[in-house]
Structure 1
């Protein structure tokens, strides 16, 4: 080991005599005092208060109408029927009424909601084959072991799509009608497409392809999930080529973070009268094809009609969080101010 002159010695590993390596760079070390810190506390509290009030007013400007239809009087027979798994293939319909006192102006979104359904369980979330969902034929013929026990169906055929997430898809369907002032019933037009993110529809979910075969022919050697009433190639009777890029399937496959959630079902088509400005006030009837059972997890089902703002729907979490944070910071600032006025100035006067 050599020193700075190329000779061995104890100074061979000494760093260069530079400002950076000898830590002589100029630095600013702020001297914090009560007179400089307390205004920052009050300013932060004011900023959080303004943001909280602003977001709260924005959220409250949205209109939302909810209706729990799980076991209402008209749907009670369907609720009881779905308790027996042997009746899963038997259709059951019911209807519920909604009364809207004031019009829902602008774009109106139709959601279905579930309560006490835990989509955030790790084993449930892992029970899917993303390779299958992007259209890989090898995964279609041999699904991932993560999908167990929803990997093979009757006759040992591979299930498409496999896994617990796809198998538990919400399959109630809805049709909404409106009774106008003349007593005439009008069907409310709902747009059932364009409900998903661009990346989901064009990147994360793709249909398998094999030469010039149609989608139904590609899925011929596969089985539908056990709880499904139709195959993946016929999920939407109005679209013979949707398969894995079915909007309802994609919306369901994006798991919710909390046990109580709602997912988009449709958007009001404002191209027809009398819905060009939104939903007019009046009585609405929701006709339900009741399929999804909730007794096994003690859940509830609901329909939600809501308007949206730039901030989203009626979610009070962030405004309340800002208001609570503002209150805590303001309380801390007041306590520090009292302590400083009582002890800080007293100590300063004693030193003088």
Structure 2
């Protein structure tokens, strides 16, 4: 093998990306700082303190599980542990400031030190120089990973038999994994990584397949660029009508004798609703009051009285919203939104539908700060129907002995036969 030569250890089925594992360390302690007891418990439990009450250094699950199955002694092919860690990782570590007597090694490190204690002859490691530790602390994203143990940038590895001395300190059987020794080199394209190659090829293949589908759809069923009919409020059931001019001098449903269903003998007389309704939404932000004032007339255009110097609704508006500020008792119109009316691109479109009495209370007026379109929904409530079949054709006819009165035998009051409730909702 041509140099540079890299030696890796590979572990399988080892989940370094587990949430509780990946956050179990203290960054300040790794930089050499003395950390408070509460912080250590938060960051490193259950490996923050030993049973004797001493601080574990370095603390946490990641440090405790560091790979220790390689032996550096008696190497005839020299592998250096210098420059195996990322430069950015080296900045995270420093020499500890803890007194040696106050700290102990992690449980899995105890066999390396006399009686499992740091001493003057066996001091705690200088983490700012221990690149094996830095590499291990850089956790892997996948359960099958490899980490660099050493490198030789100057020599080639000649063909032949090589003996590698291994320590059986890292038990992979307890978690059902395996460990490997990997020798590798690099090319101008970097090292070998089949995972990235497979992932890139799979994602690329999916993109090509989707691209072919979109191309075929565009060829056989092209879509006009900028077609407004595809907008959500122009879709069936989208909640808003299509952009079309529907205004007339007086709306059809406001005329006497209007029939909401052409082939049914039901009539609606909404002429009494031919007036301007005003809805206020006030927000008090002293010293001024901000109001959204919505004016609505479902039959005739609004009565517009324009004040000098003030912006007003368009002539022919049926639904208009104004943003008004009141300060010191004076109104100032900041914005006017002509939502629907007898003009081009108006979006007021009446819609009739039936609802069940128990659902009547679920219908509410909803909207936003800025009006952009309007829908008038006239909903017929069958709860007050008496003699005739109501708008909801499936309503049960009352018993002849009651006829809607509270007492048996009573006749309904004159003029109330066949009436149904009508609810009108404005959606903006």
Highest Rg: 1 or 2?
2
Separation in structure 2 between the aligned mates of residue 230 and residue 304 of structure 1, nearest angstrom: 25
Instruction: Say if 2:101 and 2:118, in contact at 8 Å, map to a contact too.
Output: no
Match of 2:35 in 1: 138
Match of 1:301 in 2: 179
Match of 2:93 in 1: 205
Match of 2:152 in 1: 268
Match of 1:117 in 2: 14
Question: How far off its partner does 1:222 sit?
Answer: 0.7
Distance 1:280 1:338, change over 3 A: same
C-alpha RMSD of matched pairs (Å): 3.3
Match of 1:17 in 2: none
**1:166-185 mapped onto 2 (5 Å cutoff):** 166-174=63-71
Match of 2:77 in 1: 188
Long gaps (5+) in structure 1: 1-103, 178-185, 211-217, 271-275, 345-352
| Match for residue 290 of structure 1 among 159, 168, 172 | 168
Residue by residue over 1:244-299, the C-alpha shift from the partner in whole angstroms, topping out at 9 and shown as x without a partner, is: 221111111111111111111000252xxxxx3x2111111111122111121011
Residue by residue over 1:85-113, the C-alpha shift from the partner in whole angstroms, topping out at 9 and shown as x without a partner, is: xxxxxxxxxxxxxxxxxxx1121100011
Match of 1:159 in 2: 56
Instruction: Say if 1:176 and 1:286, in contact at 8 Å, map to a contact too.
Output: no
Separation in structure 1 between the aligned mates of residue 20 and residue 182 of structure 2, nearest angstrom: 29
Long gaps (5+) in structure 2: 223-428
Aligned residues: 217
Instruction: Say which structure, 1 or 2, has more relative contact order (CA 8 Å, 6+ apart).
Output: 1
Separation in structure 2 between the aligned mates of residue 289 and residue 282 of structure 1, nearest angstrom: 23
TM-score, scaled relative to structure 1: 0.54
Residue 243 (1) aligns with residue 140 (2): no
Question: How far off its partner does 1:219 sit?
Answer: 2.6
Instruction: Say if 2:56 and 2:105, in contact at 8 Å, map to a contact too.
Output: yes
Distance 1:161 1:141, change over 3 A: farther
Instruction: Say if 1:114 and 1:301, in contact at 8 Å, map to a contact too.
Output: yes
Question: How far off its partner does 1:164 sit?
Answer: 1.0
Residue by residue over 1:219-255, the C-alpha shift from the partner in whole angstroms, topping out at 9 and shown as x without a partner, is: 33211111112359989x9x97852221111111111
Match of 1:220 in 2: 101
Question: How far off its partner does 1:174 sit?
Answer: 3.2
**1:313-328 mapped onto 2 (5 Å cutoff):** 313-328=191-206
Structure showing the higher helix proportion among its residues: 1
